[in-house]
Amino acid sequence: MPEEDIVKPPFLPATEKEARINSLFQLAIGKPSYQPTEKQVDEILSQRGKVIDLVHKDKIRESSDKKYYFTVTFVCSLTVVVLVLFFAKQYLTQVLSLIIGASGGYGFGRSQR
């Protein structure tokens, strides 16, 4: 018996959970649950474009934040080194070791992810 001759009853899910499960099963066997219209496809693509723009803006902001934190840390470290040079030269090597160790050990020298 060909598949076109089989009469299938309409799908009426009792709950939203059943509808989702049915959609997942249909996707698993290769049958999409619905075909979007051209208007829906255009809307999906425009929303995807908006999401990509938001992600790009977020990455730019994150990059700016990292540059700001690096600059502030560098200026503070330089200030501490200059103060040690003027007031306590005997502690210069310990202060430099602390600054270099902190910058390598807390993420400036390696990636966070």
- Asked if the model's pLDDT at residue 1 lies above 50, the reply is no
Q: What is the pLDDT of residues 84-94, one digit of tens each?
A: 888 888 888 88
CA angle 16, 11, 38 (to 5 degrees): 80
pTM of the model: 0.46
What backbone torsions phi and psi does residue 48 show, to the nearest 5 degrees? Answer: -65, -40
For residues 38-55, average pLDDT: 85
**pLDDT grade for 37, boundaries at 50, 70 and 90:** confident
Q: What is the pLDDT of residues 15-34, one digit of tens each?
A: 677 777 777 777 777 665 56
- Asked if the model's pLDDT at residue 102 lies above 50, the reply is yes
CA distance 44 to 36: 10
